[in-house]
Structure 1
Amino acid sequence: MDNTLYNQIFLKPRFQIDFEMKADLLLEKIKTNIDENQKFKMKVVDNHIIVDVPEKENHYWSPQLQIEIEELTEYTSKIKGLFGPKPQVWTLFMFIHFGVATAFLIFAVVAYSNWSLKKSGFFPIVMLVVLPLLWIVLYVIGSIGKSTGKKQMDELKEFTKQILKNIK
């Protein structure tokens, strides 16, 4: 395995690697390597593999690795990997962000309406200041969560490098 692969895994949460191997055989080799390790939990659904940290080390900010094996030709395949937060964490954060964005737009419309009608619009103006501050707080919380799961993310990256090294 060359250093460009290592750098791709370390610098980006996504990676793609082409293999001169049938997709079914590649999937079996990956499952075997993960089973032999026994440190991480694994779920397999069709050509998707989800690798999670062990239950005893798992916390809200724990990352996970999602691997998809795509068949390119009869004898070649591609591994697509994504390191990231669990879908529940991502969905919650996106839901909150969309809620804040929607509230911001609503309060902007109300503030503009009050201004054009020459009415007092103190509360909508206050909310137009508070909601961006809430976005900043959400960003800080996300950054703290990311740094909380960094050690586990590094372990997942090392584990992935070992698996892919054993396959080639």
Structure 2
Amino acid sequence: MLKKPIHGEKKNRVLLKPRFKMELDNTSVEEILKAFKDNLAKDECKYCSKIADNHIFLDIPEEDNHFWSPQLQVEIEEDKNKNKTIVKGILGPKPQIWTMFMFFHFIIAILFVVFFVWFYTNWSLNKDYYFQEMMLIVLPLLSVLLYFFGQSGKRFAYNQMLELDQFLHKIIHKKDHQQ
């Protein structure tokens, strides 16, 4: 399972993008990929997926998908030195959500610098700077609002994150027990 996906048993404390790494003995990359492909091809499997080389992307099914639905990204590689297969993964929001949040925070930071320079210039010239001063207050508040918006999204995605994690471990452990 995820390494400490929650702290203090509160859904609010879900890690932003939990990462995990598993080392599997006596299992090749091809065997794990085949196990994923076989499970994903079954009629009862509800997950959408993309497999490219040694990367697997698992998404929540379309009918259950919402703005905050997570994505599980799995990378499988072979460690020839230790004769093991390494399964690494990231469980978190879809890349579009991360990009959007980073874009908004970047725009807020740029605007903050612009309004600060404008404020300082007007202050130095003894001109009215009320609007700039208000923006210097509003922009950090907007950033905090974005933070709480993201926190609420984590709560909405929590059960789906656990569901994807359990699906991954079901496949990995089923593969282990077949040997």
Normalising by structure 2, what TM-score?
0.83
Shift of 1:139: 1.0
The answer to whether structure 1 residue 79 and structure 2 residue 87 are counterparts is yes
Q: How many aligned residue pairs are there? A: 163
Shift of 1:9: 6.1
Aligned pairs for 1:37-48 (under 5 A) are: 38-48=45-55
AA paired with 2:41? D
Say if 1:67 and 1:80, in contact at 8 Å, map to a contact too.
Answer: yes
Distance 1:120 1:10 in 2: 50
Distance 2:98 2:172 in 1: 27
Say if 1:50 and 1:65, in contact at 8 Å, map to a contact too.
Answer: yes
- For the residue of structure 2 that corresponds to 1:58, the secondary structure is coil
Residue aligning to 2:20? 15
Residue aligning to 1:29? 35
Residue aligning to 2:131? 123
Residue aligning to 1:64? 71
Residue aligning to 2:10? none
AA paired with 2:94? K
Residue aligning to 2:142? 134
Distance 2:118 2:90 in 1: 41
Shift of 1:22: 2.3
Distance 1:158 1:81 in 2: 13
Give aligned-pair identity as a percent: 43
AA paired with 1:103? L
Distance 2:33 2:94 in 1: 22
Normalising by structure 1, what TM-score?
0.88
Task: Give 1:52's match in structure 2, choosing from 54, 59, 65.
Answer: 59
Say if 1:10 and 1:157, in contact at 8 Å, map to a contact too.
Answer: no
